[in-house]
Amino acid sequence: MHITPHVHALRFPFRVPVAPGISIGRFASVFLICSETLTLVDSGVAGCEKPVFEYIAAIGRDPAEISLIVQTHAHPDHIGATHAIQAETGCEVAMHAAEREWIENVAVQDRERPVPGFDQLVRGSARAGRVLADGDVISLGGDHRLDLIVFHTPGHSPGSVSLLLQSDGALFSGDAVPVPGDLPVYDDAVASVRSLKRLSRIDGITTLLSSWDEPQQGILVYKAINDGLITIRQVHRAVIAAAGNGTPGPMDLCRKAAGILGLPPQAATQLLARTFAAHLRASGSKDLPDG
């Protein structure tokens, strides 16, 4: 889908097994920036390289023109096809330093953050070509001198980044902006709140390209960011209520808080428990009032 003068949004469905015979439907987002060369923001899960290449050919470009993949972070649905795309095109891969190990050695990620079906979602490690830091500018070239401005937006993961393509008013936010009613997934609730507040202060965003959601444009951009803040605060209140005055085990807490939030029973997974544990650690924070 052609979104802005230089940006195309691609979405690929996949399923995550959570129990024998039970899986949750998800989708992976890949964003294509067209200039003198081609840049991908994230790569989707393993196997996404084929439809990405097919799309590029369909718009009259050559997949061999892919010169760069910028990873918003290292989770499986964002890096799964990176190995295959890099092997095919020789492209450079850029990421924040805090995500590097999990991209260059996916076995470490599988051990430290187990995800059901990891081996099916990620089919290999990739070589880092550029390590990003807050404030970096990635020049994409072209007649209009397209630049990506890097914003370090931790919370979902320690090295999550958002990217502003200023010429198009497009912000690529990775998984930094939660969607109301969807599964909340982040490692640091306070950092997530602070990152969302920072994004809300960026002027001139006319298109929000979140990996969680459909592209949002116009007045819906800042509303989506604010809704993400509201969602994190709602999750915080639910977790504090579920914990009560006791110390329930991680999965007991997960099931209770998921019930308060109206999430389906199958949503109570280790990943969701990890999110809720982040809220317990944030109890008493001025960024996330318990009441």
Helix or strand holding residue 60 (H, E): none
Is 279 within a domain?
A: no
How does pLDDT run along the chain (291 residues), one tens digit per residue? 999 999 999 999 888 776 667 667 788 899 999 999 999 999 999 999 999 999 999 999 999 999 999 999 999 999 999 999 999 999 999 999 999 999 999 999 999 998 888 999 998 999 999 999 999 999 997 655 789 999 999 999 999 999 999 999 999 999 999 999 998 999 999 999 999 999 999 999 999 999 989 999 999 999 999 999 999 999 999 999 999 877 789 999 999 999 999 998 888 888 899 999 999 999 989 999 876
Is 276 within a domain?
A: no
Quote the pLDDT of residue 20: 66
DSSP state of 2: B
What count of residues does the chain have? 291
Contacts 24+ apart (CB under 8 A), 116-120: 116/16, 116/17, 116/18, 116/269, 117/16, 117/17, 118/76, 120/45, 120/46
Inter-helix orientation angle 82-89/49-58, to 10° = 50
Is 120 within a domain?
A: yes
Query: Phi then psi for 212, rounded to 5 degrees?
Result: -80, -25
Is 267 within a domain?
A: no
Is 285 within a domain?
A: no
217 burial level (CB within 10 Å; 0-12, 13-18, 19+):
middle
Helix or strand holding residue 40 (H, E): strand 38-41
For residue 16 the two structure tokens come to 């995550």
**Domain limits for position 147:** 7-230
Instruction: Residue 225: give its domain's CATH number.
Output: 3.60.15.10
Is the Cβ–Cβ distance between 40 and 52 less than 8 Å?
yes
Is 289 within a domain?
A: no
pLDDT tens digit string along 8-60?
A: 999 998 887 766 676 677 888 999 999 999 999 999 999 999 999 999 999 99
Q: How far is CA 200 from CA 123, 196, 274, in A?
A: 35, 6, 26
% the chain with pLDDT above 90: 82
Is 1 within a domain?
A: no
Buried b (16+ CB within 10 A) or exposed e, 167-188: bbbbbbbbbbbbbeeebbbbbb
| Domains: count for the chain | 1
Is 284 within a domain?
A: no
